[in-house]
Structure 1
């Protein structure tokens, strides 16, 4: 399987330019070791020097509600045993297991001019990132998907962001929630109010999730004394239909206010109402 890699440049004005792209066939690389590659950039000068390590990743999955991993008693027992106290000294990096049921969202913001949105969810835990499918033309989508993540730090925060798909353009932000792993109550369906990107103000709509977290307290405690994993996923703010639509509405209101003021002044100069003109000039 090929991995497509793109190199982009960004100036101070947030303008972006594609500097080059290349492909790497990871099936041809030896596994469980670091491979040093220098790959030429297609249609551009230069090359990209990179380190690639292909290792199996356990604990990451996307499934329907009917095949929920922790819904199977035998599988739940097996996962629970993996994080029991007696296994505290095995695989110190495997701290725990997180399962997220993304059920639905209600009363989302309409990002399209048609009054609808094409919403999908992105789930991020550290540098792990998964997303749902898109439900088109709907402000009350039901995804009913189950996501699982390996926990590398029990102090991580699960971020669930709802976007509006916009074809070939970058998606529009609709709302976001941040849930600390230590605050999760297993097996309880909770509805969270969506917030803005800074998580300071409420946005429009809510999202319903059901979460379960299993972890080994000994390994989690030891991990606490190590530096946090660096986040490599950045926020890339681009053109937004939602912002454009909001600004168009603002321009309309300002235009109408100016027009009404002009009409009022015109009526005063034309003395359409003697009393109003006298009061206005006074």
Structure 2
């Protein structure tokens, strides 16, 4: 209102957090700070939050950006449009960052198969009608894919379309007669390759989830309404048990929906690094299953699992497949990490010319 602010930045990478100094009474601050982080996981997300310092009370939120490390172009000074707290829509302001990421691809790939680092400071889950509805819709979409696939298979048995049923019957006989275990990763490998050629040929089958995006945009407004309603009625404060159950259901729906979306986004090449890693893994599995009998593979797996605690008493028990999928962003995270297009007049080059003028 007075045309002034006292902005400072908080830069976070997992549990590492650094602050800039405050530039007082300035709407166009220049920090010119260089920060260095030790990257433990290349799939981490760099978060930069801008606050307005207030000496009498807590700092006011001005804007935030979340930048996946794998999306960074080294040495490029880039303008990032600041977003709201939910990272769903723009707020006023643009921040200029120049970032360099140096990592070893082999070590990063191996790191993908172990558990993610958990953040020590996370926002406490709270009940939200909009969030509960959004998670229900996301889960429903994943379940509907399986239901539609089941209906499609059943229609082949019912001969609703004779040519399709005949083709499915011939394919069934061929596959069952010639089936080998190595064909399972081979089919997944072919699916990944097919989607890759669709993308490079311009026939990208990835579609933005408008339902999720629209609900994300409305979430902040709905949350504010929920807060006001809860303050007036005092309903949530009176029935803590129901609130805890609803939060549990809300979180379970989120986990179920996220798992389905992460699998889809792996095959949709949402994060090329992870899709290439999946191709390498599937190639290895195909070759191993082709040349090594299944009993030997199960035997090696069982010996490793039974002796893991004996060999490494402090090792964390994990599932490599789930650890891999945890690095793939869900549809909600894809929206949050999506960069908003800045005003062309906000480019760094034009900004320098204006300052010289």
The TM-score range, normalised by the shorter chain, is 0.3 to 0.5
- Which protein is bigger by CA-based radius of gyration? 1
Normalized against structure 1, the TM-score is what?
Answer: 0.43
TM-score, normalised via structure 2 length? 0.34
Q: Which has the higher contact order (CA 8 A, sep 6+)?
A: 2
| Structure having the larger proportion of residues in helix | 2
